[in-house]
């Protein structure tokens, strides 16, 4: 009797301990993930901030007016301090991260000193520009190294907590890839140049333009279903799913989806049935068409929807897909807010994507005044070190989200390409961007 009671008590005890242990284990794992996430966040943010910093310093080299430079330097200063915080949050006390920290405090000091002085009365001296150029080069090195390590950690799924755990359990630290990788960050000076950042294909307009110029009659679901059937050459329209958007949508629209081998998705306005965006996903075969052939297909597609005066702006090839952006041109002025993007499969020229959201949102017949500044006068406002290669008139949305007429200059300086917008009415430097859009292939360079 006593024996069986004892056994029962013991069994309950063991089960209890087991349960407790399991709970502890679960809690430990949850906490581990939490801690891992915060390390990951700091590290990814650090590399992002370094990237941004590099870009901002590069852009500041091409700027001319104090009006632009001061805020730019303030921004760099802010970024450098954020990046420093990121470094501080990493478990790197045992690692030599001095070079990065040193660089960050240097650039912080420099930009702070220059940002607080009046750059219009007292512009940057030659020595200061040299310092800035040097910092720019250094930023490129550090950024590249960090991006490479980031690639390694993402590719190989490396965890910071493994390092921490190894330390906590006092184990002999054999080769830990993450530490090795980060040590080389400090040592390795890579020779390749890399640059990204700049403007995205689609400029995001934060101001809510309300699709004012979307015209046509209101359509019902059946009409949309038939429209989609023709557009995507679908035989049977029963499987096409059409749903109405909810109250949160910017403009009343239908969402169309269809699946059969390929997946088709389209947002289309209820009024006038203008496709806002189309996304087609299917496996893509070997590349048979050139990027240029793709562009021709994209232009054909625009004609089909009767979009006139669209000029190609950018083209990029990702794997076997070409992505093309277009802007509207009115009397030879490029209207940047009215943009569109198309995606073309380079195996057979199918249109895989169409995005006219910005165009539909912003497009209207504008009254474009004659510029008060001449091209020559505007050119004088551009930084002397920039060699101007191309120029256009362009309508852009400035920092205050107003549409302004500008001269657009494409120029080069120290192997980088810049796009500079000078206000055509008052000569102000509205925007300076460093263009690029390529990056070292880390997979090959690892």
Partner 1 sequence: MNYKKISLILSLMIIIYVPSFNQKSVEAFSPQVIQHGAVGDDVIELQARLKHIGFYTGPIDGVFDWRTYWALRNFQYEFGMEIDGMAGQKTKEKLVKATEYNEQEVKQNMYQTQKPKQNQQNKQNQQAQGEQKQQPNQQQQQTQQPAEQTQQPAQQTGAVNVPQGFSQNDIKLMANAVYGEARGEPYEGQVAVAAVILNRVNSPTFPNTISGVIFEPRAFTAVADGQIYLTPNDTARRAVLDAINGWDPTSNATYYFNPETATSPWIWTRPQIKQIGKHIFCK
- Determine the 3-state secondary structure of 194 from DSSP: coil
Cα 72 from Cα 132, distance rounded (Å): 13
Among 239, 263, 364, 374, binds partner 1 (CB under 8 A): 263
Give min distance, CB of 113 to partner 1, in A. 25
204 is a contact residue toward partner 1 (CB under 8 A): yes
Task: Compare residues 2 and 400 and give the one whose CB is closer to partner 1.
Answer: 400
Cα 87 from Cα 159, distance rounded (Å): 17
239 is a contact residue toward partner 1 (CB under 8 A): no
Task: Compare residues 114 and 383 and give the one whose CB is closer to partner 1.
Answer: 383
145 is a contact residue toward partner 1 (CB under 8 A): no
Tokens representing 123 are 């512009």
Alpha helices for 62-187 (secondary structure H): 66-89, 98-115, 126-156, 160-168, 177-187
293 is a contact residue toward partner 1 (CB under 8 A): yes
User: Residue 75 class from Cβ within 10 Å (0-12 exposed, 13-18 middle, 19+ buried)?
Assistant: middle
Question: Which 388-427 residues touch partner 1, going by CB under 8 A?
Answer: 389, 412, 415-417
Segment lying near partner 1 (by CB under 8 A), choices 7-15, 67-75, 312-320, 367-375: 312-320
329 is a contact residue toward partner 1 (CB under 8 A): no
Among 126, 247, 376, 402, binds partner 1 (CB under 8 A): 247
Task: Compare residues 197 and 391 and give the one whose CB is closer to partner 1.
Answer: 197
Segment lying near partner 1 (by CB under 8 A), choices 63-71, 128-136, 251-259, 392-400: 251-259
Among 98, 118, 292, 384, binds partner 1 (CB under 8 A): 292
- Residues near 150 by Cβ (< 8 Å), separated by ≥ 6? 43, 44, 47
Cα 76 from Cα 311, distance rounded (Å): 35
Question: Site map for partner 1, 96-135, x if CB under 8 A?
Answer: ----------------------------------------
Give min distance, CB of 429 to partner 1, in A. 20
Give min distance, CB of 83 to partner 1, in A. 11
Task: Compare residues 126 and 208 and give the one whose CB is closer to partner 1.
Answer: 208
Q: Rounded to whole angstroms, what are the CA distances from 374 to 367, 390, 422, 427?
A: 19, 15, 11, 10
Cα within 13 Å of Cα(355), Cβ side: 17
Give min distance, CB of 324 to partner 1, in A. 8
45 is a contact residue toward partner 1 (CB under 8 A): yes
Rg (CA), the chain: 28
Cα 88 from Cα 94, distance rounded (Å): 12
Task: Compare residues 131 and 307 and give the one whose CB is closer to partner 1.
Answer: 307
**Residue 211: count of CB within 10 angstroms of its CB:** 20
What are the phi and psi torsion angles at 316 (to 5°)?
Answer: -145, 145
157 is a contact residue toward partner 1 (CB under 8 A): yes
Cα 247 from Cα 267, distance rounded (Å): 15
Q: How far is CA 377 from the centre of its chain?
A: 34
232 is a contact residue toward partner 1 (CB under 8 A): no
Among 2, 168, 400, 444, binds partner 1 (CB under 8 A): 444
197 is a contact residue toward partner 1 (CB under 8 A): yes
206 is a contact residue toward partner 1 (CB under 8 A): yes
- Determine the 3-state secondary structure of 305 from DSSP: coil
Question: Site map for partner 1, 55-94, x if CB under 8 A?
Answer: ----------------------------------------
Cβ pair 34, 161 in contact under 8 A = no
Count the residues of the shown chain that bind partner 1, applying the rule CB under 8 A.
96
Segment lying near partner 1 (by CB under 8 A), choices 3-11, 31-39, 374-382, 393-401: 31-39
Question: Which 175-194 residues touch partner 1, going by CB under 8 A?
Answer: 175, 177, 180-181, 191-194
Among 11, 94, 189, 249, binds partner 1 (CB under 8 A): 249
- Residues near 232 by Cβ (< 8 Å), separated by ≥ 6? 258, 264, 280
Cβ pair 202, 359 in contact under 8 A = no
What are the phi and psi torsion angles at 236 (to 5°)?
Answer: -110, 120
216's torsion region: left (phi>0), alpha (psi -120 to 50) or beta? left
Give min distance, CB of 219 to partner 1, in A. 17
Among 117, 129, 183, 198, binds partner 1 (CB under 8 A): 198
Task: Compare residues 64 and 152 and give the one whose CB is closer to partner 1.
Answer: 152
Cα 443 from Cα 185, distance rounded (Å): 17
Cα 208 from Cα 251, distance rounded (Å): 11
Give min distance, CB of 417 to partner 1, in A. 4
């Amino acid at each position: 009797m006593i024996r069986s009671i004892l056994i029962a008590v013991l069994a309950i005890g063991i089960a209890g301990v087991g349960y407790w242990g399991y709970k502890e284990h679960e809690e430990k794992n949850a906490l581990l993930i939490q801690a891992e996430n915060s390390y990951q966040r700091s590290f990814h943010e650090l590399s992002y901030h370094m990237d941004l910093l590099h870009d901002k310093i590069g852009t500041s080299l091409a700027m001319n007016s104090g009006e632009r430079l001061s805020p730019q330097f303030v921004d760099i200063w802010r970024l450098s301090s954020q990046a420093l915080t990121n470094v501080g949050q990493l478990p790197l006390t045992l690692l030599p991260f001095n070079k990065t920290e040193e660089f960050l405090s240097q650039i912080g000091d420099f930009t702070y000193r220059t940002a607080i002085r009046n750059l219009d009365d007292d512009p940057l001296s030659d020595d200061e520009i040299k310092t800035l150029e040097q910092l720019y080069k250094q930023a490129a090195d550090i950024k590249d190294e960090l991006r490479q390590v980031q690639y390694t950690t993402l590719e190989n799924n490396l965890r910071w907590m493994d390092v921490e755990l190894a330390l906590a359990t006092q184990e002999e630290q054999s080769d830990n890839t993450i530490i090795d990788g980060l040590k080389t960050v400090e040592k390795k000076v890579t020779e390749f140049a890399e640059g990204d950042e700049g403007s995205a294909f689609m400029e995001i307009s934060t101001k809510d333009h309300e699709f004012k110029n979307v015209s046509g009659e209101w359509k019902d679901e059946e009409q949309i279903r038939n429209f989609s059937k023709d557009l995507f050459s679908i035989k049977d329209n029963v499987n096409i799913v059409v749903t109405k958007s909810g109250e949160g949508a910017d403009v009343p629209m239908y969402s169309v989806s269809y699946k059969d081998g390929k997946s088709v998705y389209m947002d289309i306005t209820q009024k006038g049935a203008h496709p806002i965006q189309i996304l087609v996903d299917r496996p893509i075969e070997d590349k048979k068409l050139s990027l240029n052939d793709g562009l021709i297909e994209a232009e054909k597609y625009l004609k089909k929807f009767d979009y006139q005066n669209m000029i190609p702006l950018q083209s990029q090839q990702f794997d076997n897909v070409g992505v093309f952006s277009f802007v509207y041109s009115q009397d030879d002025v490029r209207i940047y807010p009215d943009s569109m993007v198309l995606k073309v499969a380079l195996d057979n020229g199918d249109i895989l994507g169409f995005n006219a959201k910005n165009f539909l949102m912003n497009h209207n017949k504008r009254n474009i005044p004659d510029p008060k500044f001449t091209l020559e006068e505007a050119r004088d406002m551009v930084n002397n070190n920039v060699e101007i290669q191309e120029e256009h008139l362009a309508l852009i949305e400035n920092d205050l989200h107003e549409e302004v007429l500008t001269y657009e200059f494409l120029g080069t300086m120290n192997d980088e390409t810049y796009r500079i917008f000078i206000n055509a009415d008052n000569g102000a430097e509205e925007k300076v961007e460093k263009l690029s859009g390529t990056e070292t292939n880390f997979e090959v360079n690892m």
